[in-house]
Amino acid sequence: MSEIRLTNIIKRYEDGFVAVKNAQLEIHDGEFMVLVGPSGCGKSTTLRMIAGLEEVSEGDIFVGDQRVNDLEPGDRDIAMVFQNYALYPHMTVRANMGFGLRMRGVDKNEIDHRVNMAAKILSLENLLNRKPKEMSGGQRQRVAVGRAIVRQPSAFLFDEPLSNLDAKLRVQMRTELAKLHHQLKTTTVYVTHDQVEAMTLGNRITVMNEGVIQQVDTPLNLYRHPRNRFVAGFIGSPAMNFIRGNVMESVFSGSGIRLALDKVSHQGPATLGVRPEDLTIAKGDTTSIFSVPIEVVERMGHETVLYFQLSGDPLVARIEEDLAIKAGENVPFTIKSQRWHLFEATDDELRIEHLAHPDPNKN
Ligand SMILES: Nc1ncnc2c1ncn2[C@@H]1O[C@H](COP(=O)(O)OP(=O)(O)OP(=O)(O)O)[C@@H](O)[C@H]1O
Ligand SMILES: [Mg+2]
């Protein structure tokens, strides 16, 4: 059993700053859990507490049935891969990967066996005799992952492992990591800033903000049923558009926009959320919910991204075709059927469920 459980975890640094506030998190055995959130929200702190590199101020961490709060990092059976993977420059790939096992006094044949297996999984077989400086960034990163694999730990922790790689290598390593998890099925916690990594690698994603866990859910549930405005704006790229306004008898109105909302009982101030990909160009003015002059047009070939403003709020639309629209042109917009979100205008900014688009988690 290698599930990881955090109960009421608080991290208070020595200067009194509280970086993690009462975190409750269950990472299932074999699960790939992605941790996302803005810079400084407490992702690395959380990971380092699980690894044992940072002390827990309050609460408990369990790996399987064992409470690990008081265990040294080396006794936790967890391997961590950092953004700055420090390989020993004077050692070959083989020696780098086997180093941790040698220090533990593992038998030489066993080390060779595990290194060969990891090298096979990571396609490093032909590079085993190279030194780090004779390899590309992506290859070095694979060695760092290999060093974690050979330990056969009960969990992997990754802290932005791909952020030093260029775009093409990132994509390649991303699919390698997906394959790796598919093969080994080791419980994994993975911190990233990359939306695509989060959406594609995670069985589930934990979204954090200012030390507080906002939502833990599958990628698609986060996309479709964000719990609050923060999660809605954080998951998805370009980010969800927000329009302030008021709901009266199932009609949302803000300056320059009017939208009939089916099946919403909410009345009063609210924020309307619409993803850029859920805006479409209205056929004729009659069906449009607002009409605005476009400020910037980005033609990508397969899609066109339009930037404009609605009563001072900057909005983005992503249309899945190549449109010959020019900046300055007036464009009527509508929203794909039921593809809007509504948020309370309170401090929590919780999402208001609408019956036409119910949350599967709450039958
Ligand atoms: N040793 C420390 N003493 C005091 N505060 C710290 C310490 N280490 C980190 N912090 C603060 O705790 C907060 C969380 O830091 P953490 O490194 O966990 O953020 P993060 O989510 O990993 O951010 P990033 O995405 O930039 O890596 C930050 O505000 C940071 O300044
Ligand atoms: Mg960090």
From first to last of the 363 residues of the chain, give the pLDDT tens digit.
699 999 999 999 999 999 999 999 999 999 999 999 999 999 999 999 999 999 999 999 999 999 999 999 989 999 998 877 789 999 999 999 999 999 989 999 999 999 999 998 888 999 999 999 999 888 898 899 899 999 999 999 999 988 877 888 888 889 989 999 999 999 999 999 888 999 999 999 999 999 999 999 999 999 999 999 999 999 999 999 999 999 999 999 998 899 998 778 899 999 999 999 999 999 866 789 999 999 999 999 999 999 999 988 899 999 999 999 999 999 999 999 889 999 999 999 999 987 655 555 554
d(C-alpha 139, C-alpha 72), whole Å: 30
The length of the chain is 363
For the chain, give every residue range classified as CATH 2.40.50.140.
Answer: 239-352
CATH superfamily label, 239-352: Nucleic acid-binding proteins (2.40.50.140)
Supply 190's token pair.
């993975």
Residue nearest to atom 4 of ligand 1 (CA): 13
Q: Which ligand lies nearest the alpha carbon of 207? A: 1
Q: What is the architecture of the domain spanning 4-224? A: 3-Layer(aba) Sandwich (3.40)
What's the pTM value of the predicted model, to 2 decimals? 0.92
Cα–ligand 2 centroid distance for 31 (angstroms): 21
d(C-alpha 212, C-alpha 37), whole Å: 10
Buried b (16+ CB within 10 A) or exposed e, 185-220: ebbbbbbbebbebbbebbebbbbbbebebbbbbbbe
Q: For ligand 1, what atom is nearest to the CA of residue 37?
A: 21
Cα–ligand 1 centroid distance for 62 (angstroms): 23
Does the C-beta of 269 come closer than 6 Å to ligand 1? no
Residue nearest to atom 30 of ligand 1 (CA): 40
Helix (H) or strand (E) holding 272: strand 268-274
- Which residues are in the CB-under-5-Å shell of ion ligand 2? 44
Residue nearest to atom 25 of ligand 1 (CA): 39
For the chain, give every residue range classified as CATH 3.40.50.300.
Answer: 4-224
Task: Report which residue type is found at 319.
Answer: I
CB count within 10 Å of CB 299 equals 13
